[in-house]
Amino acid sequence: MTLGVEVGAPGRERAVTERLRGLWETPPTLLAWLTTVDHKKLGVRYIVTAFVFFLLGGLEALILRLQLARADLHLLTPEAFNQLFTMHGTTMMFLVVQPMLSGFSFYLTPLLIGARELAFPRLNAFSYFAFLFAGCFLTASFLGWHAPDGGWFAYTPLTSARFAPGINLDYYTLGLVFLGISTTAGSINSIVTILKLRAPGMSLDRMPLFMWSSLTMSLSVVFAMPPLTAALVFLELERRWHFVFYEPRLGGDPLLWQHLFWFFGHPWVYILFLPATGMLSMIIPTFSRRPMVGHTFVALATVATGLVGFGVWVHHMFATGLPQLSISFFSAASMTVAIPSAVQIFAWLGTMWHGRVVLRLPMLFALAFILQFTIGGISGVMTAAIPFDWQVTDTYFVVAHLHYVLAGSSMFAVFAAIYYWYPKMTGRLLDRRLGLWSFWTMVVGFNLGFFPMHLVGLAGMPRRVYTYPAGLGWTADNLLETIGAWLFGLGVLLTVANVLRSRRHGAEAGADPWRANTLEWATHSPPEDWNFTHIPVVASRDPLWDGGVAPGPALTDGRQTLRTSTLDADVEAPIVLPEQNLWTLVISFAVLGVFVGLLLGAWWVAVAAGLLTLGSLARWFWPHPAHVEETEV
Amino acid sequence: MRRLALLALPLVLPLVAACHGPMSTLGTASAPADRVARLGWFMIWLSVAIFALVCVLLVLAVRHHRARDPLAVDLAPRSKGWVVWGGAVMPGAVLGAIFVVALVGLGRFPAPPDDRDLVVHVTGHRWWWEIRYEGGAGGADGAGGAGGGPVVTANELHVPVGRTVRLLLTTDDVIHSFWVPRLQGKMDLNPGHVNDLRLSAERPGRYMGRCAEYCGLQHAHMAFAVVAEPPAAFQRWLAAERGGAREPADSLARAGRTLVTAGVCASCHTIRGTPARGTIGPDLTHLMSRQTLAAGTIPNTPGYLEAWVTDAQAFKPGALMPSLPHFDGAELRAITRYLEGLR
Amino acid sequence: MTAVPLDALPRAPDARRATRDVGWWGMALLCATEASLFASLIGSYFYLALVPANAHWPPAGIADPALGLPLLMTALLLASSGAFWWGERGIARGDARRLRLGLALAALLGIGFLLLQLHEYGDKLRHFGPTTHAYGALFYTITGFHGAHVAFGVLMLLYTGLRALRGHFTAARHQGVTTVGLYWHFVDGVWLVIVTSLYVSPHFY
Ligand code: HEA
Ligand code: HEA
Ligand code: CUA
Ligand SMILES: [Cu+2]
């Protein structure tokens, strides 16, 4: 059954569809295309933009891998190397994984919960532009090689005005504050959507697991982003105006930066990780042909990981000389956090065990995720053991850990998601043969490239060195790593080719190519602009498998969707969502202007752009005359 | 399976290096580092076991029932045994074990304060290590001798074998991290803080160390060495270091001394007993007692020494030591001659 | 198959909560993230106050902050919240005039707060600035951030006032007012925390 398709008398249904089309379609003009608020278009835009940043960040890594291929190479100057690894880390951590996962979340959330839009469509357009602009802002630092060079966590005083007098670190601080606005706005949007716009009947316990992970991720952002913002504001105030926060001679303390950064940073790595597990929890049941084993436990484990993630930040600071009692506490907390991860791993294994596995491409990527995440997770637990961390911290062992969990897990989940949802987004399947080539190249390349990092780390190779001498037992590993890295890059490009080719030549997918269980498969591929002609009424967790869904009201009085209660998803009221307007774009440019003004020290630009921001905010929120009259409730 | 075979290949060979290299965290030479290496092995074997378990379960689950009708769905509820045993009980036990073992190990750090410890102040600079032995260094056994002057050196930390040395770590500029993999894990050098670290070596030898915290352009070239010597040799070394700089032996060296102590060099370096009092670069009083130049960047040989003076930036771009190309051949020979005499 | 009509679907029972529109939820989350921001700022303040190197906090040469002015400022903000509440109650009964009055009063009191803060800065800056010592940097940054929030809140109050003049609000629909109120009361609450930690607490150690 397809909820996008007609129910009831054909004539009346056609009239309904036409009316919805009039209400929801993006007009075919360039400006309309630019300022669209359609969560599907914006979601895809998010994904594509983040992917471009992925290629860019990947390219940076491939270049620095060349420099490290042999001992004592001189392909890059130390300046260039430091900028490359800093921007590689910063790009991947801030511009790739989170926006990519959010992109999927913005695309899928309304479809998964049976709504027509996100709660704040215009905010979504704004957060996209803010992300794009902040990303370009950060990347623009490469012009003239002024890119940030303090490492992705930018420890002060190395990043203070005294030791980093250039503009490099200003790109970093301002760019990340800018990006934070986008991320926070997007997260608030997700939370409200997931809590308030679920289809009638979709109580929290019937909600798909990807929604649980999106919800946890977004809530974590809401609370984790501000410490970073505070730290960055402090740093910028100290750099520009000599405020004192980190300078010990005047009462500051450089460790304050580390506490603030990692209080943000650890929740952040789970933000980059949890939605990936949520995706796996969608894909594995589909290709095991049975509902998720331990669904409730997995939902709880997701939330628990997010929560405990706020209490482990000091494991990044074991070697700073903090008292042993306090670091022991954080060591214990860090190990505890492995338990919810284990719950997830074993729930997936159990689902496969009790089901019947179909090895399609998304499933292959999911299986690689499970194995690679096991390795990456365990190396995390090893570093959580304090005396061992004193040996391996700041070595390639940690680099191995972070790539196994990020590249080998989060990014593999993203690839699984691309293969899984591409048919929904485009109506066409990705090519299987090319996909298999890509998959195996990526798996082999990844493990060849990153497994030796554990060994070279144990052999004492520190991270962030632009060169190293021969004779320490590091050279063979490094060569393998470089070869593996390039292989991995090649595998990534094969999927890019697949995505581009299948756009035209892929096999027709139909509404539900995988015979899956959740609501997004109950509508056309790609879905109509209004997602569901009839808001679905949900009665189970796997509605498309056990028939737990029925077509509900069509809601054609304006761009409507249903607002429902937070826990049980009982109807509260139909609400009208705003249509697109120019102000989202204007305001994005205005905010960009503020940050460019601050960067260049052109205060009047910053002030003028700030006033423009306020003005366009006022216009944005001024209700459309037609809506003022409408009654609520 | 194919994948596992591939994994094994790069694994075996370099693993050997990981256990034996001069920077190996597993080929240790002190009691605390041995303990950590044992903890490491314990966790490595546990990890291998857990990974193998997950692999086996995964392969079995995939093979278990290969779908006959690929699209049929099984809706029957199943027990949560997997989640409970695999997700909670097993990891709970394993993690508990790791935590206890690690905590016991941790409890033995640092050794209880011992006032007979040899105290050494280590100060990080971009990008070298200042090493200063406290007071009448040598400790309570009096071996330091009377009227000890300051003992200041750089990038080579001499310690007597079998004795615990107390290091007080701080920095002059950005954060660095002190690390001698075969002897001792890392400890950061933070501005405005003094960190306390114990170091001991069981066997004589030269142990490599490195700065482990990213500290800017030349973080890659901020190495040092710990030289562990029998107590008698250590005392001889200490006594030699305590003295001022040797007088130049010949006229060439004397000319060199003038160039060094009255010229640019003196603005950054100290040579005790001469007007050179700079503090930006390492103390050169006993330069020739050290085996490397520029914090492990190049060997300390006359050829390298000369090359370093003229073109430091070629070896260590960004170092605070400028290249000094304006010395002509004769001046350079004089300078090197003088420096070679600083034993 | 026929579609289930809207009326046949189960309705949420709690009438009051069911009237909160998505804008209210959005504002609640904005306040949550702002709360985390202020927690980070104040957390940093206490972190630096407690590091062993800072034996005196405020440092020698800077007196403990006087309490008179901040208490007056607190009174203004509390009164402003009260005025807002009074206006909102008015519109809930359909009294648009009372809403306008309440908003105007709330905005005026907010402006009064800002003027007092400027006065306080002028006074304090003669003794210490944000570059003298970490104490000063935190003091001005935290109160400055809060001041900026008050200023933004005042703009929102005026904006809402303008909407009220245009007759956008009725007894049945005044979500916009409630949402702005959430923010305003929140900013008020934050001030109470700031007064306690920045002004009162130094008198106790
Ligand atoms: C996706 C991101 C992600 C994830 C999910 C994790 C997960 C974990 N991380 Fe990791 N971490 C990073 C990203 C991530 N990390 C990054 C980017 C850094 C480096 C930052 C930098 O310095 O640049 C870092 C660094 C880092 C450190 C600091 C190292 C150092 O600098 O010295 C530590 C220390 O404790 C740590 C611990 C952990 C732990 C305990 C987990 C746990 O959550 C893992 C739990 C999972 C499992 C354990 C596997 C599955 C479980 C089983 C199969 C059951 C059986 C297992 C056992 C019984 C052990 N991480
Ligand atoms: C999501 C996170 C993520 C991902 C996916 C990656 C992916 C990769 N990373 Fe990295 N990495 C980090 C996060 C990530 N990394 C972080 C946080 C750090 C720490 C930084 C710091 O210390 O501050 C780090 C550090 C880091 C280092 C250590 C640097 C150092 O300490 O000196 C290395 C070294 O090998 C490395 C390598 C790689 C490689 C080879 C890949 C490969 O996966 C890349 C694969 C390649 C591609 C995807 C590119 C393919 C494209 C092309 C070939 C052509 C492109 C064409 C155009 C753009 C037109 N990374
Ligand atoms: Cu000093 Cu790295
Ligand atoms: Cu962490």
Q: What's the pLDDT at A623? A: 81
A62 lines ligand 2 (CB under 6 A): yes
The rounded Å distance from CA A335 to ligand 1 centre is 9
Please list every protein residue whose CB sits less than 6 Å from any atom of ligand 3: B 124, 127, 176, 211, 213-215, 219, 222
Tell whether the model's pLDDT for residue C42 goes beyond 90.
yes
Between CA A265 and CA A274 the distance in angstroms is 14
Burial of A51 (0-12, 13-18, 19+ CB in 10 A): buried
The string of pLDDT tens digits covering residues C125-166 is: 999 999 999 999 999 999 999 999 999 999 999 999 999 999
Burial of B11 (0-12, 13-18, 19+ CB in 10 A): middle
Of A53, A92, A100, A316, the residue with max ligand 2 atoms within 8 A of its CB, to mutate for a pocket test, comes to: A92
Please report how many Cα atoms fall inside a 13 Å half-sphere around the Cα of residue A124, on the Cβ side: 33
The rounded Å distance from CA A63 to ligand 2 centre is 9
Q: What's the pLDDT at B11? A: 58
**What percentage of residues in chain B have a pLDDT greater than 70?**
87
**Residue B60: which H helix or E strand, with range?**
helix B31-64
Between residues 540 and 559 of chain A, which touch chain C (CB distance below 8 Å)? 550-555
| Band of pLDDT at residue B148, cut at 50, 70 and 90 | low
Opening angle at CA C111, ends C107 and C113, nearest 5: 115
Identify which ligand lies nearest to the alpha carbon of B57: 1
Cβ-contact A308, A336 below 8 angstroms: yes
- The distance of Cα C55 from the centroid of its chain, to the nearest Å, equals 32
Backbone angles phi, psi at B199, to 5 degrees: -135, 140
Nearest CA distance, A604 vs chain C (angstrom): 18
Tell whether the model's pLDDT for residue C112 goes beyond 60.
yes
B216 SS3 class? coil
Nearest CA in chain A to B222: A465
Task: Tell me whether residues B3 and A324 touch, CB distance under 8 A.
Answer: no
The listed range with the strongest mean pLDDT (A362-366, B109-113, B286-290) is A362-366
Is any Cβ of chain C less than 8 angstroms from the Cβ of A227? yes
Tell whether the model's pLDDT for residue A387 goes beyond 60.
yes
A54 lines ligand 2 (CB under 6 A): yes
| Band of pLDDT at residue A8, cut at 50, 70 and 90 | low
Six token digits for residue A576: 């009208």
- Which residues are A573's β-sheet partners? A563
Looking at residue A150, its amino acid is: G
Nearest CA in chain C to A190: C26
Residues of A in contact with C10 (CB under 8 A): 200-201, 568, 570-571
| Band of pLDDT at residue C103, cut at 50, 70 and 90 | very high
Residues of B in contact with A374 (CB under 8 A): 50-51, 54
Task: Tell me whether residues A467 and B14 touch, CB distance under 8 A.
Answer: no
Average pLDDT over residues C53-80: 93
Nearest CA distance, A148 vs chain C (angstrom): 25
Is any Cβ of chain A less than 8 angstroms from the Cβ of C138? yes
Between residues 165 and 204 of chain C, which touch chain A (CB distance below 8 Å)? 168, 172-173, 175-176
Between CA A145 and CA A84 the distance in angstroms is 10
Looking at residue B246, its amino acid is: R
- The distance of Cα A501 from the centroid of its chain, to the nearest Å, equals 25
Nearest CA distance, A536 vs chain B (angstrom): 21
Tell whether the model's pLDDT for residue C17 goes beyond 70.
no
Between CA A98 and CA B266 the distance in angstroms is 53
Q: Which residue has the tokens 């070896």?
A: B315
Q: Report which of residues B79 and B300 the model is more confident about.
A: B300
pTM of the entire structure? 0.96
> Which of A86, A159, A381 has the highest number of chain B CBs within 10 A, making it the mutation to test binding with B?
A381
Q: Which residue has the tokens 């979500």?
A: C175
| Band of pLDDT at residue B67, cut at 50, 70 and 90 | low
The rounded Å distance from CA B216 to ligand 2 centre is 20
Sequence-distant (≥ 6) Cβ neighbours of residue A389 within 8 angstroms = A315, A318, A319, A383, B185
A550 SS3 class? strand
Average pLDDT over residues B286-312: 93
Between CA A214 and CA A220 the distance in angstroms is 10
Please report how many Cα atoms fall inside a 13 Å half-sphere around the Cα of residue B303, on the Cβ side: 2
| Band of pLDDT at residue B146, cut at 50, 70 and 90 | very low
The string of pLDDT tens digits covering residues B304-314 is: 999 999 999 99
Q: Which residues of B334-343 are buried (b: 16+ CB within 10 A; e: fewer)?
A: bbbbbbbbbe
The ipTM of this complex is 0.95
Q: What number of C-beta contacts closer than 8 Å exist between A and B? A: 313
Backbone angles phi, psi at B185, to 5 degrees: -70, -175
**Minimal Cβ distance to B99: which of A151, A332, A459:** A332
Average pLDDT over residues A565-572: 93
Q: Which of A264-278, A461-475, A568-582, B130-144 has the lowest mean pLDDT?
A: B130-144
Counts of helices then strands in chain A (DSSP H, E): 23, 4
Q: What's the pLDDT at B145? A: 42
User: Taking the alpha carbons of A86, A378, A460, B192 in that order, is the dihedral positive or negative?
Assistant: positive
Is any Cβ of chain A less than 8 angstroms from the Cβ of C32? yes
Tell whether the model's pLDDT for residue B10 goes beyond 70.
no
Tell whether the model's pLDDT for residue A629 goes beyond 60.
no
Average pLDDT over residues A238-242: 96
Sequence-distant (≥ 6) Cβ neighbours of residue B13 within 8 angstroms = A476
Burial of A115 (0-12, 13-18, 19+ CB in 10 A): buried
Identify which ligand lies nearest to the alpha carbon of A320: 1
Tell whether the model's pLDDT for residue B335 goes beyond 50.
yes
Q: What's the pLDDT at A339? A: 94
Q: What is the DSSP string of B224-237?
A: EEEEEE-HHHHHHH
The rounded Å distance from CA A326 to ligand 3 centre is 26
Task: Tell me whether residues A8 and C2 touch, CB distance under 8 A.
Answer: yes
Q: What's the pLDDT at B115? A: 63
**Minimal Cβ distance to C19: which of A238, A244, A633:** A633
Please list every protein residue whose CB sits less than 6 Å from any atom of ligand 1: A 269, 272-273, 315-316, 334, 337-338, 341-342, 345, 374, 377-378, 380-381, 383-384, 389, 393, 398, 401-402, 405-406, 410; B 50, 54, 91, 94-95
Q: Report which of residues A631 and B151 the model is more confident about.
A: B151
Residues of B in contact with A357 (CB under 8 A): 61-62, 64, 66-67
The string of pLDDT tens digits covering residues B172-220 is: 999 999 999 999 999 999 999 999 999 999 999 999 999 999 999 999 9
Q: What's the pLDDT at B141? A: 41
User: Taking the alpha carbons of A163, A164, A169, A173 in that order, is the dihedral positive or negative?
Assistant: positive
Is any Cβ of chain C less than 8 angstroms from the Cβ of A628? yes
Identify which ligand lies nearest to the alpha carbon of B214: 3
Average pLDDT over residues C70-98: 95
Chains touching A, CB cut-off 8 Å, 3+ pairs:
B, C
Identify which ligand lies nearest to the alpha carbon of A316: 1
Task: Tell me whether residues A552 and C6 touch, CB distance under 8 A.
Answer: yes
Opening angle at CA A358, ends A357 and A361, nearest 5: 125
Q: What's the pLDDT at A624? A: 73
**Residue A182: which H helix or E strand, with range?**
helix A168-196
| Band of pLDDT at residue B8, cut at 50, 70 and 90 | low
Q: What's the pLDDT at B142? A: 40
- The distance of Cα C78 from the centroid of its chain, to the nearest Å, equals 10
Residues of A in contact with B22 (CB under 8 A): 460, 471-473
Is any Cβ of chain B less than 8 angstroms from the Cβ of A466? yes
Chains touching B, CB cut-off 8 Å, 3+ pairs:
A
Average pLDDT over residues B31-48: 93
Nearest CA distance, C58 vs chain A (angstrom): 10
